[in-house]
Structure 1
């Protein structure tokens, strides 16, 4: 009797603990499912990467189901799950595990290891250079309009991430704001659905396709008063600088002028006009000496004549 009761109690305990063991097994099989609202990555096993015609017919049911799921779950929960997934990925890479402050280049990792991210939530931030909207295909979830954004992150090296979502800020309902061809500070959280093939100008290329609930855009607020004050300060500084340079140049020219005048005055004082008149005096002496030199031969001739006269005697 006692053994029978013990058997019943043991069976009841096993039944009670069975769900817990099942959940533990599921968690161990897929550590990337920390929240009940996150879809199981196994749902995406049949999605074909690099299919040349975009989304296959057999993938469209899951395509719209994911968009519906994202629309019904909170963005905060999605971000928490994406952050958890990122930390799990870092723990798999020795370099980033040993250096917690080192930033993981997410886009290159997704691009090279798409199977590791497929069906998992990720968060990307960057610039949107293309934003269009078009009617959704017929679906059972009441989704009417889809928005397609081409997102470029700092580590993507001009390679886009194609984002499809069901909602955008009111300013972006009709596309990018008028007069702009790019908007910055755009964040998106969604599932990597597949590696998407698109036609570029030079060749056929591949980009990650992210399905998201919405785009987050936080445009930089311009402080008009601060900008005006800064412009005024800059203009005033420039005027003072120009005036200072002009004054320095004028001062230098005045000093140069004074120096030239002083040098000219000194030169005039050193000139002797007596020295300028001395050459004519020397010129007058020279003829006199020349005359004396001419008279000397005459004297010699007289003496010679006298001697000649005496010789015959």
Structure 2
């Protein structure tokens, strides 16, 4: 006999296998539960129909469910381990580098030689260039940065559409930055979306004259639920403080892609990465639908109101004239004298003679 210990103190006693036994002659299995209950069940090789026929499925269930649950747990652990390894050591897709032109407002490449991707914080080789890029974003012409960003985006989209495998796909700048950071490093980009948080940052010692910085998580249409990390030197006055349930929309940011920033997240590995954009300032352009709509629709609205008032006045005047005519007719009828009894009889006789005339 072989005795197996199961979960919760249960034990299963398996009979020793004999080669001369047949499927029908195999010894039953003795199952002892932790509560002291002892049950005897058929051998596992007996048909399932006989077990159900005997009504002992509840006793056989621990034998079947336990291995299935164990395999399911092992499978989940394997998947979680694979996801954690993929997040901690992401494999960069094999994509050719994007040859973007170096604009007058692009960051010099020698400033970015010590920048490393997928790191939290800034290393010693990144401290100086970090503040230098922020100062350039603050001091450079914003219109020139936007023009260069538009040219970069047009070239990237043209290269994307040239690939026949992308005919049914949409270009996403977020994905391009994550998969080809070396091609975009130091290049201006323009992003539009909403922010869920805005936090003032402490500024360390720097030679660029920076005194105040702000960090925000920007979500765009192509990034979906994954944010851009934006660090800027200035925010517009009157910008409402964003919240998780009430984000601030209509945000535009033009700045430089610096690196892939690693931050804490509720994932299997506990880390995630996002493009880090260094910008001069946030732009907030909320629409004014009420004022602009009334200005555009003002003449139309006034003409419609004038026509409505004219129609109502005309309807009231006609109704009043009609009422006066009806009153005048009633008064005229009331002033006419009523016919006498002899006149009524004479009229009836005339009618009867007219009716009898054709039959004669």
Q: Same fold (TM over 0.5)?
A: yes
User: Offset at 1:32?
Assistant: 1.7
User: Offset at 1:56?
Assistant: 1.1
CA distance in 2, matches of 1:60, 1:123: 24
Does the CA contact (< 8 Å) of 2:188 and 2:256 recur in 1?
yes
Q: How far does the alpha carbon of each residue in 1:125-164 deviate from its partner, in whole angstroms, 9 at most, with x for none?
A: 1110011112311111221110101000111120000000
Does the CA contact (< 8 Å) of 2:106 and 2:186 recur in 1?
no
Does the CA contact (< 8 Å) of 2:195 and 2:249 recur in 1?
yes
Are 1:171 and 2:238 counterparts?
yes
TM-score by length of 2: 0.49
CA distance in 2, matches of 1:225, 1:37: 35
Greater radius of gyration (CA): 1
User: Offset at 1:42?
Assistant: 4.7
CA distance in 2, matches of 1:120, 1:195: 14
Does the CA contact (< 8 Å) of 1:91 and 1:97 recur in 2?
no
| 2:266 matched residue in structure 1 | 201
Relative contact order higher in (CA < 8 Å, ≥ 6 apart): 1
Are 1:43 and 2:43 counterparts?
no
Give the secondary structure class of the aligned counterpart of 1:92. helix
CA distance in 1, matches of 2:253, 2:185: 16
TM-score by length of 1: 0.56
What RMSD over aligned residues (CA atoms) do the two structures have, in Å? 3.0
| 1:68 matched residue in structure 2 | 135
Aligned residue pair count: 194
| 2:280 matched residue in structure 1 | 213
| 1:33 matched residue in structure 2 | 102
How has the CA–CA distance of structure 1 residues 152 and 70 changed in structure 2, closer, same or farther, with 3 Å as cutoff?
same
User: Offset at 1:97?
Assistant: 9.9
Name the one with the larger helix percent: 1
Q: Gaps spanning 5+ residues in structure 1: where?
A: 1-29, 228-313
| 2:248 matched residue in structure 1 | 183
Aligned positions of 1:243-254 closer than 5 A: none
Does the CA contact (< 8 Å) of 1:130 and 1:176 recur in 2?
yes
Q: Gaps spanning 5+ residues in structure 2: where?
A: 1-98, 295-360
User: Offset at 1:112?
Assistant: 2.0
| 1:278 matched residue in structure 2 | none
Q: How far does the alpha carbon of each residue in 1:41-83 deviate from its partner, in whole angstroms, 9 at most, with x for none?
A: 45323200011x3111221100001111111111100001111
Moved more, 118-127 or 180-189: 180-189
